[in-house]
Structure 1
Amino acid sequence: MLKPLQNIKLIIFGLLTLSAGVTSAQTKYNPADLFPAISLLPQGNVYRTATGEPGPAYWQNKADYVIDVALDDKTKVISGTATITYTNNSPKALSALWLQLEQNVFKKNSRGIESKLFLYKDSTSETPDGGYQIENIRLAGKNENIRYHIYDTRMQLELAEPLASGQSISFSIRYKYNFPVNYKNADFLVNRTDILPTKNGEIYAVAQWYPRLCVLDDVEGWNTLPYLGNGEFYLEYGNFEVNITVPSGMIVESSGDLLNPGEVLTPIQLKRWQQAKQSETPVQIRTAAEVTDAKSRPAKPFCTWKFKLDNARDFAWTASRSFIWEAESFTIAGGKRVMGSSVFPVESDKAKSWKRSSAYVKFTLQHFSEQWFPYPYNKAVNVASNLDGMEYPGMVFCAAKDTGNMYWAVVNHELGHTWFPMVVGSNERKYAWMDEGFNMFIDMIATKKFNKGEFIGYAEIDSPLDSLFTEKLLPIVTRPDALPGNQVYPLQYQKVAYALGLLRNHILGIERFDTAFRKYIRDWAYKHPTPWDFFRSMDSSVGEDLTWFWKSMFLNNYRLDQKITKVENAAGKQPRITIENINKAAMPLVVDLTYADGSAEHREFPVEIWEYTGSYTFSGNKKAAVSKVEVDAGKVYPDVDRGNNIYEAGK
């Protein structure tokens, strides 16, 4: 309880300062919106703490896969059996399981086609029918079928008995599908699985090629959003054993470690492969001259390539008769040795293109491992393909045609996805910005480090900064499939990278930000964070309530406009400058004063000056008239109207 005298003092102080809290009629700024007393983030609990860390009761289910698959390159059919062991670590028994069938987006009546999100470039072209053909689903080791229902790109399995907490179930799915041969028709706007024709054979980029478990989590239960094309993936972690049978003339690479090199390589290739596992310089396992030499492959009809990958959320592979195969090994932070592998056709064997693949792979993995978190797999494969760029654990598909800066940018970016979302397993189907934007942010740092800034990276295609804050732009948190196509890159990639760079370089500082960001990665490695977990983690680590930043930049499309509204400028007196925040966003205030005698003064004010008011007045340090006042002369903050940022005496 306050004493009466203290009450009187507070009332007088309030009357004297009341005008400071009044904003002009033209302003859109509301301090209470960005600096609320009640947190906009959900309360912490035993699963996800208020400090942004996994809680003591955090749980996550597991899906292990043993897959035997074959590619018929004449009919373009993939067929096989996936045996899945699913472990229920949730606190509740499960009466049904949900799986993803992304290949069903190629069916004529798929939701992706009919919603016009998964479109052909030529909308008049006929849609070929594709998708999975499920032959049967049976309990492993038993001759018992499991009843299932397919709803577009999702499949529900009915369990005869509930799967209790802590228990596992194994079942096998026999399936096949026609590989979507997009290049013979009008290309899909989204091509995450595709075939590239080359003069020495087709290159198969094989992804979304097996039924995959949906994620069951403590936030939304079963995550069963349909695959429509733009939104990517949300997957459980587990172990993979994959056996791939192809014609022996094909070279196969994949996410996992090759277990039977002696069975699928010629003696000379085996020797080179073993050499590459120890060599610090690239080794040609199969040279350009050998691509057309039948002796460069084993003399038998088919080869079965066997791979293994542990603690990963997905698995992809590639196959082609046209591959040049180059590999080397190198150490990353912590001393682990990683094998970098590149496969590409002779058409891509160019000095400013795929000849530099090994160097780009090596730098990217070493840099990100040292800067953020160690690379988790034993190898990384870069595949030349018909895809502009797509990422999977231990393997990326990059455009065979790319050269120069764009080739660097794509390789660096796709490998950067190892950290987001392969290690930090966010929900890409809903929050694409948590992998694309975060990845582009770390890419920008890496690009500046590579070869003394040889490349500019994705700056080559960046939109102007002003376009990231137009009124028509949707909030960053918008679901990917709800975004207009022309907003996907500037919003989910560029604006997120810009915002994190702003936070790192100008608001928190590099050391403070990097320490917090590393902790977020460590805490959520191989787990499933939400946006709220990220916001809380950063707030807690840096010791700041950044609600004003998250709300302005991520949760809304708020715009910043800091305006000089008044300069009291008399000779022999300290100048008084009034700045008004006239739009919805807030940022720290930076002002440069130039005095009439030519001297200069630089002032910086924290964001808290806007906590109770939209108008702020301060005095210059010198008793002299000013000739110029400028807000944010370095153009650090995203002010949408710089025409009101400058005052010049006499103008």
Structure 2
Amino acid sequence: MTHPCAVRRVLFAAAAFALSVTFAPLPGKAQPPAGQRRPQLPDTGGRSATYDPLKTFAPFAMPDAVNSYRSGNGAPGPAFWANQADYEMHASIDTATQTLTNDEIITYTNNSPDMLNSLWLQVEQNTYRTDSRARTFAGGSRRPGADQSSEGTVFESMELMGNGKNAKAEKATYVISDTRARIDLPAGLAHGAQIKVHIKYHYKVPGQWGGRTSVGKSKDGYEIYDIAQWYPRMCVYDDIRGWDTQPFLGNEFYTEFGNFDNYITVPASMLVAGSGVLVNEKDVLTKAQIDRLAQARTSDKTVMIRTVAEIKDPASRPKQDGTLTWHYHMDHTRDAVFSASAGFVWDGAKINLPGGKTALSLSFYPAESAGDEGWGRTTEYAKDTIENMSHDWFSYPWPVMTNVAGFSSGMEYPAMVFDGINSKNKGLFVVTAHEVGHTWFPMIVQSNERRDAWMDEGFNTFIDIYESDQFQKGIWGPKRDGEYAPGGGFPADEIAKIIADPEAPVMLSRADAIREKYRHPITYFKSAEGLYILREEIMGHEVFDRAFRKYIKDWAFKHPTPSDFFRAMASEGGEDLDYFWRGWYQNNWTMDMAAKNLKWVDAADPSKGSVVTIVQNGQLVIPTWIEVKFEDGTSTKTKLPAETWMQKATFDMAITSPKKVASVTIDPEHRVPDNDRSNNEVKQ
């Protein structure tokens, strides 16, 4: 038997021989003398007076940490939860006093791991009170006008009820705080438990616009009620802040998902457009309207359900006197709204969705808006937008999309939007595509709009860019409007001027703190351009689309934060994007690249090619195309990756062709926001 020590000696000798072979000098490769290191390469890096690589490429600290609720890959974690709020509402409008009255039951489910000792409601009609915080808030056009004031929401009663069969109602103890109300619970609401809140209230509907709810008259004298932010609703309780109770100052919404049953009683002469599916067609429509609605569900062309000529025809309503109650139902939604008028034209068409599924596009509008230059095409616009965005990003989840022409123009809600009565042609297409596009952000992927408005307005503006290119092969593209490149030029050049403004806020600012002057330029334009740069310049279509679709799918009907988005795109996209998150979102860093010193490597030997120096003068780094034009009329393009600037501020770019170079141009197509294009070209 061989002794174990002998075996170990043999194995050690074999290992030593293997190491000597592994690290033996390569044939023909010069080696430094024994005991000396290889000579160090010359250091061509370092910072300049205006660019510090260590600052741009420093690790980026995400605003929120990873935990069991939110994973490091940007997806919801294994312990993620969200509470649910279901609503049953019995509302009516007194047209003589323009007063809305509602009998509301909220069923609230606590899915959090916490014991809740109170509930918080949003009571947004209180923004019209003369003592509301919005009155002194410098929020620009979204602040209530001096002539728009009311008592706000007037509570008639509020009761708490358990969820059992024999549960008894108990008068609620509550405190109003501006546009919020805190309800004290007599006993804690444990994980998995439900409670019902029964509220009776009324409020006077404000006039035109009115901060997203309104009443006004069409030219033919019919009132149009656009009813939104109309019911006390649950604030979000989440894993980030617990109760998120920001007051309503003008920015939009953060609400829980749930199921809605809305019963809306109005004069029988009125049509009611509502979020979701009309449950009781036979009670509120004529036989002809029911048949036309059924036809619209299977028609790719717009079907008239109620024509202009029928507005004044008594036969277009099932009865002429008294009231009718319309019942709309919608599942898995964060909100539900409605509009009512006796003067509505109504049309619809089928929406074709992935997997052979369909939905219904509907439009309601007054007679003055009718015609092919106006609202006669809005159903077509909404249909096209939903079909394209469903194919590109995530399939439309609800059975209906409704667009209403009223006085709350340019506002979006789940499965229903309000647009302008007087909008026509391209302007009407643009606003329809934008408001319908909000389906994806924030109606499906619901970020916190009151804190991070850029995550819905900017993301939606981004997907609008491609809808403008797609509709009838870009007949009204490219997208250039008040939301994106309003000057009509290169978006990169326009955004460069905005981020160079020292007063411009960064995107990671609280939404309410962004002045009206910068709301569209930063919240819409810069956010959209950031995604456009990610897709077109940094990640490429295939990689970006896969990552962005996964982000949407992962966070559908949930509440992502900026950190979730940043992690999702970097993880699935396979790129370290810290430099871009810091430069574009956390700061308003500017970009300035310069070309200089174009020359032959060896003037006596053209075969050695040419060299040009590219300089990084700005702190913002984005991968950028460099175009080389030769004197014979040919040209080449090379993209310099972000890593070019990880250690240095200057780069000597080799041009290996022996042909004489006529010029070198940085970003010839104006794809990146270079702040100074006067130094982008050098000639030999």
TM-score (norm 1): 0.93
SS at match of 1:443: helix
Cα offset, 1:17, TM superposition: 3.0
The equivalent residue for 1:343 is: 364
Cα offset, 1:385, TM superposition: 1.0
Q: Does residue 492 of structure 2 align to residue 492 of structure 1?
A: no
Query: Are the structure 2 counterparts of residues 299 and 606 from structure 1 closer, same or farther at C-alpha, using a change threshold of 3 Å?
Result: same
The equivalent residue for 1:208 is: 229
The equivalent residue for 1:519 is: 550
Query: Are the structure 2 counterparts of residues 8 and 592 from structure 1 closer, same or farther at C-alpha, using a change threshold of 3 Å?
Result: farther
- Equivalent residue in structure 2 for 1:467, among 494, 497, 512: 497
SS at match of 2:273: strand
Cα offset, 1:284, TM superposition: 1.9
- Equivalent residue in structure 1 for 2:187, among 151, 156, 161: 161
Amino acid at match of 1:153: T
Query: Are the structure 2 counterparts of residues 197 and 6 from structure 1 closer, same or farther at C-alpha, using a change threshold of 3 Å?
Result: farther
Return the alpha-carbon distance in structure 1 between the equivalents of residues 630 and 34 of structure 2.
42
The equivalent residue for 1:566 is: 597
- Equivalent residue in structure 1 for 2:178, among 132, 137, 152: 152
Return the alpha-carbon distance in structure 2 between the equivalents of residues 463 and 330 of structure 1.
31
SS at match of 1:174: strand
Return the alpha-carbon distance in structure 2 between the equivalents of residues 544 and 316 of structure 1.
41
SS at match of 1:447: helix
Deviation digits for residues 457-503 of structure 1, max 9, x if unmatched? 64033334133322332212222211121211111111222221121
1:168-207 equivalence runs, <5 A: 168-182=194-208, 191-198=211-218, 199-207=220-228
SS at match of 2:386: helix
Return the alpha-carbon distance in structure 2 between the equivalents of residues 542 and 122 of structure 1.
43
The equivalent residue for 2:259 is: 239
Cα offset, 1:636, TM superposition: 1.4
Cα offset, 1:597, TM superposition: 5.3
- More displaced stretch, 57-66 vs 263-272: 263-272
The equivalent residue for 2:137 is: 115
Return the alpha-carbon distance in structure 2 between the equivalents of residues 241 and 40 of structure 1.
40
SS at match of 1:459: coil
SS at match of 1:284: strand
Return the alpha-carbon distance in structure 1 between the equivalents of residues 144 and 105 of structure 2.
38
Cα offset, 1:368, TM superposition: 1.1
Identity of aligned residues (%): 39
Cα offset, 1:98, TM superposition: 0.7
- Equivalent residue in structure 1 for 2:583, among 552, 556, 564: 552
The equivalent residue for 1:380 is: 401
Return the alpha-carbon distance in structure 2 between the equivalents of residues 400 and 84 of structure 1.
34
SS at match of 1:181: coil
Amino acid at match of 1:593: V
Contact 1:406 1:457 in 2 (8 A): no
The equivalent residue for 1:30 is: 52
The equivalent residue for 2:535 is: 504
The equivalent residue for 2:13 is: none
How many residue pairs were aligned? 633
Query: Are the structure 2 counterparts of residues 282 and 562 from structure 1 closer, same or farther at C-alpha, using a change threshold of 3 Å?
Result: same
Return the alpha-carbon distance in structure 2 between the equivalents of residues 330 and 22 of structure 1.
57
Amino acid at match of 1:177: Y
Contact 1:463 1:490 in 2 (8 A): no
Return the alpha-carbon distance in structure 2 between the equivalents of residues 635 and 8 of structure 1.
50
Deviation digits for residues 279-302 of structure 1, max 9, x if unmatched? 333222211111012232223300
Query: Are the structure 2 counterparts of residues 9 and 413 from structure 1 closer, same or farther at C-alpha, using a change threshold of 3 Å?
Result: farther
Deviation digits for residues 89-111 of structure 1, max 9, x if unmatched? 11110000111111111111111
Cα offset, 1:80, TM superposition: 1.0
Return the alpha-carbon distance in structure 1 between the equivalents of residues 350 and 658 of structure 2.
65
Return the alpha-carbon distance in structure 2 between the equivalents of residues 445 and 195 of structure 1.
34
Return the alpha-carbon distance in structure 1 between the equivalents of residues 419 and 550 of structure 2.
30
- Equivalent residue in structure 2 for 1:291, among 311, 315, 326: 311
Cα offset, 1:591, TM superposition: 1.9
Q: Does residue 657 of structure 2 align to residue 622 of structure 1?
A: yes
Query: Are the structure 2 counterparts of residues 594 and 279 from structure 1 closer, same or farther at C-alpha, using a change threshold of 3 Å?
Result: closer
Q: Does residue 563 of structure 2 align to residue 532 of structure 1?
A: yes
Deviation digits for residues 198-231 of structure 1, max 9, x if unmatched? 11411111100001111111112111111101x1
The equivalent residue for 1:612 is: 647
Return the alpha-carbon distance in structure 2 between the equivalents of residues 346 and 313 of structure 1.
32
Deviation digits for residues 551-602 of structure 1, max 9, x if unmatched? 1112211110012243344523533222221111011242222345555343
The equivalent residue for 2:452 is: 431
Contact 2:583 2:619 in 1 (8 A): yes
Return the alpha-carbon distance in structure 2 between the equivalents of residues 642 and 38 of structure 1.
29
Contact 1:469 1:640 in 2 (8 A): no
Deviation digits for residues 45-94 of structure 1, max 9, x if unmatched? 11000000100000100000011111111101001111001111111100
Amino acid at match of 1:161: A
Query: Are the structure 2 counterparts of residues 438 and 160 from structure 1 closer, same or farther at C-alpha, using a change threshold of 3 Å?
Result: same
Contact 1:200 1:291 in 2 (8 A): no
The equivalent residue for 2:15 is: none
Contact 2:127 2:144 in 1 (8 A): no
Return the alpha-carbon distance in structure 2 between the equivalents of residues 311 and 594 of structure 1.
57
Contact 1:44 1:51 in 2 (8 A): no
Return the alpha-carbon distance in structure 1 between the equivalents of residues 308 and 382 of structure 2.
20
- Equivalent residue in structure 2 for 1:586, among 617, 621, 634: 621
Q: Could you say what the CA RMSD is over the residues aligned between the two structures, in angstroms?
A: 2.2
Contact 1:47 1:56 in 2 (8 A): yes
- Equivalent residue in structure 2 for 1:262, among 253, 262, 282: 282
- More displaced stretch, 519-528 vs 452-461: 452-461
- Equivalent residue in structure 2 for 1:322, among 333, 343, 362: 343
Q: Which runs of 5+ in 1 are unaligned?
A: none
Cα offset, 1:340, TM superposition: 1.2
Return the alpha-carbon distance in structure 1 between the equivalents of residues 478 and 405 of structure 2.
19
TM-score (norm 2): 0.89
Contact 1:204 1:319 in 2 (8 A): yes
Q: Which one has a bigger Cα radius of gyration?
A: 2
Cα offset, 1:648, TM superposition: 2.0
SS at match of 2:85: strand
The equivalent residue for 2:92 is: 70
Amino acid at match of 1:301: G
Contact 1:595 1:627 in 2 (8 A): yes
Q: Which runs of 5+ in 2 are unaligned?
A: 1-22, 24-31, 162-166, 488-493
Contact 1:113 1:119 in 2 (8 A): no
- More displaced stretch, 272-281 vs 249-258: 272-281
Contact 1:560 1:638 in 2 (8 A): yes
Query: Are the structure 2 counterparts of residues 238 and 501 from structure 1 closer, same or farther at C-alpha, using a change threshold of 3 Å?
Result: same
Amino acid at match of 1:234: Y
